[in-house]
Amino acid sequence: MRSRTVAGAIIGLAVLGGTAKAQASTLSVDAACYLSGSPISASGTGFTPGGPVNFAFDGQPSTSGTADTAGNIAQPLTAPILPASTAEHTYSLAAQDQTNPALAATSSVAVAERVATVTPHRARPKRKVKFGVHALNPNQPVWLHYVFHGKQRYRKKLGTAKPPCGSLTRRSRFFPVNRPRTGTWTFQFDNTKRYSKSTQPQIRGPVQIYNTFR
């Protein structure tokens, strides 16, 4: 009796130990951040072999693909176009198995527009304004080059672009001098201390300086 009880316990443990858990589906993307409208490569595992899989960003349908014979997916996608006045957003990308709805996975997808903002839009040169910069190289310094008639006249380091999308917000003087020359200046934001019109990535735009009379 004792030997049977022991043997039964061993068999029972062996059966419990051999019980396999269902493998969860997975989903990942190939970069930390994407420009609005740029290509994305998504990959995943644990879907129905040969079955259809639907993809959606924040619940909005994007496209459909098919898992391979091992249940893996490799799907090209396009980053969503950000709404007007939105410079950066983190979407929830979902992959949903259409054969077995229990098989699903999600991944975060950060999307940014390469844009710079100055708030307020009009200010005296010596006034502090809020600079916003998005989609430069993360973890690198952000430089503002003040260009007039094709030449850099001043430059200023605004700080370091933060991951994942290379963004920065900083309050600083609009101009480093009180009386810049009147006319059209160019502001160029990039990650390089030395100015070059061809530096990439960059954000570049005109700024008008004019005199006011009371």
The pLDDT confidence band at residue 19, using thresholds 50, 70 and 90, is very low
Enter the pTM of the model.
0.82
Label each residue of the chain as H, E or C.
Answer: CHHHHHHHHHHHHHHHHCCCCCCCCEEEECCCEEECCCEEEEEEECCCCCCEEEEEECCEEEEEEECCCCCCEEEEEECCCCCCCCCEEEEEEEEEECCCCCCEEEEEEEEECCEEEEECCCCCCCCEEEEEEECCCCCCEEEEEEEECCEEEEEEEEEECECCCCEEEEEEECCCCCCCCCEEEEEEEECCCCCCCCCCCEEEEEEEECCCCC
Tens of pLDDT, residues 99-154: 999 999 999 999 999 999 999 989 999 999 999 999 999 999 999 999 999 999 99
Fill in the amino acid letter for 45. Answer: T
**pLDDT value for 7:** 35
CA distance 64 to 54: 4
pLDDT at 192 over 80: yes
Q: Which of the residue ranges 11-15, 27-31, 170-174, 204-208 would you say has the lowest mean pLDDT?
A: 11-15
pLDDT at 14 over 50: no
pLDDT at 15 over 90: no
**pLDDT value for 214:** 58
Q: Which of 144, 138, 204, 200 is nearest to 165 (CA)?
A: 138
The arrangement of strands across the sheet holding 73-78 comes to 26-29, 39-45, 73-78
pLDDT at 160 over 90: yes
Please give the mean pLDDT across all residues of the chain.
90
**pLDDT value for 43:** 98
Residue-range domains of the chain with CATH: 22-112 (2.60.40.1930), 115-209 (2.60.40.1930)
**pLDDT value for 22:** 52
178 versus 7: the higher-pLDDT residue is: 178
Beta-bridge mates of residue 115: 134
pLDDT at 206 over 70: yes
Q: Which residues of 84-116 are buried (b: 16+ CB within 10 A; e: fewer)?
A: eeebbbebebbbbbeeeeebbbebebbbbbbbb
pLDDT at 89 over 70: yes
Average pLDDT over residues 26-39: 98
51 CB burial (10 A radius; 0-12, 13-18, 19+): middle
18 versus 123: the higher-pLDDT residue is: 123
201 versus 7: the higher-pLDDT residue is: 201
- C-alpha torsion sign, points 187, 191, 195, 198: negative
**pLDDT value for 18:** 41
CA distance 25 to 13: 28
